[in-house]
Amino acid sequence: MTAEDPTPTTPAEEHSTRGAYVAIGESFDRDMNYIDDRITRDGRDGWPVEAGRYRLVAARACPWANRTLISRRLLGLETALSVGMPGPTHDKRSWTFDLDEGGVDPVLGYERLQQAYFARFPDYPRGITVPAVVDVSSRAVVTNDFQQITLDFATEWTAHHREGAPDLYPEAQREEIDALNRWMLHHVNNGVYKTGFAGSQEVYEKEYRALWAALDELEERLGRSRYLMGPSITEADVRLFPTLIRFDPVYHGHFKANRQTLASMPNLWNYTKDLFTTPGFGDTVDFAQIKRHYYYVHEDINPTQVVPLGPALEPLLEGHDRDRFDTDTWGPQGTAPGAPLAAEVVDPAHTPLHVTGR
């Protein structure tokens, strides 16, 4: 399929510009019907964990994909699981590989992620979403279940973890992590979208208040420990960070979540700065792609498609106060990940990390 190929449209186009969102009256809710196949050690769904067999497709612009890039870095899965990165924008059909030479993913040979979905489901009716894991040999999508993918990275891919990989999903805390993650998904990760895509003043005000009530609760929680679950980083931090790092550049203005900036909330802001300068977090963030995606793709919210120049990013490198808490960032046997692969380094012009050479 070429860029000029007049492929027939599908029902997925009806909501592709809003990812997996569907309208419910004047409100928006996330379509949670994902391809729920899992890649596991025992291969019980037909997809056994194998180094080199799969390719993670994850756009840096997308917060749901960003969490998979963070998890992959923290656990050291780079050599076992390759990554394809679409550009920051997409059309009604699909995310596209326009950052690659010739606009084609060099491993899959595709111009559009849609092709991997259609290779397995020719009549796939839902949104073509990232992250997605694709089987390289068949070039067909395996799963796009963003909530399960990172859990499986932590628990099923352990044979390919780097030495010193942190335990992001410790067994003793799983029940609490799961409960917190469900709450954050509804009230924070999705909460910003519910606010931004509200179709009436009444719905907007309801979702706005719910979002800020949740952020206030997190502000209080982060006044008790360095990370969400205590002294060490867990899956919960991996899920919250992509929302927080996008808050002031995008959600505050674009989604009208503007009671105040994140930078004015001491615990949330210092927590965000702390994680941004932690290896595996900030080095996966491309602010230029993030802003290009939201302000360009959401034409119904921003019809001019003008992308703002601000806010200034250098404050993310200012000192934080999180070391006042007990800290065991990587866990008892854990260590920080090494530098990103050369091919996966974020463009220095798109991040303030280059200011200090971190």
Please check whether residue 95 is in contact with residue 130, taking contact to mean a CB–CB distance below 8 angstroms. yes
The rounded distance, in Å, linking the Cα atoms of 40 and 47 is 7
Cα 141 to its chain centre, rounded Å, is 18
Of 264, 56, 280, 268, give the one whose Cα is nearest residue 165. 280
- Please report, for the chain, how many H helices and E strands are present, in that order: 9, 6
Query: Which one of the listed residues 21, 34, 54, 193 is annotated catalytic?
Result: 193
- Give the three-class secondary structure for 123: coil
Strand partners, 21: 30
Please check whether residue 252 is in contact with residue 261, taking contact to mean a CB–CB distance below 8 angstroms. yes
The rounded distance, in Å, linking the Cα atoms of 52 and 72 is 14
**CB crowding 90-111: b at 16 or more within 10 Å, else e:** beebbbbbbebeeebbeebebb
Active site residue 193: yes
The rounded distance, in Å, linking the Cα atoms of 159 and 170 is 16
Query: Which one of the listed residues 62, 110, 117, 124 is annotated catalytic?
Result: 62
Of 21, 23, 20, 25, give the one whose Cα is nearest residue 35. 20
Beta strand 21-24 pairing with 27-30: antiparallel
Active site residue 117: no
One-character DSSP codes across 30-71: E---------BTT-TTS-B--TTTEEEE--TT-HHHHHHHHH
* HEC readout, 64-78: HHHHHHHHHHHHCCC
Of 155, 173, 152, 182, give the one whose Cα is nearest residue 233. 173
User: Which residues belong to the annotated binding site for glutathione?
Assistant: 95
Residues annotated as catalytic (active site), given as ranges: 62, 193
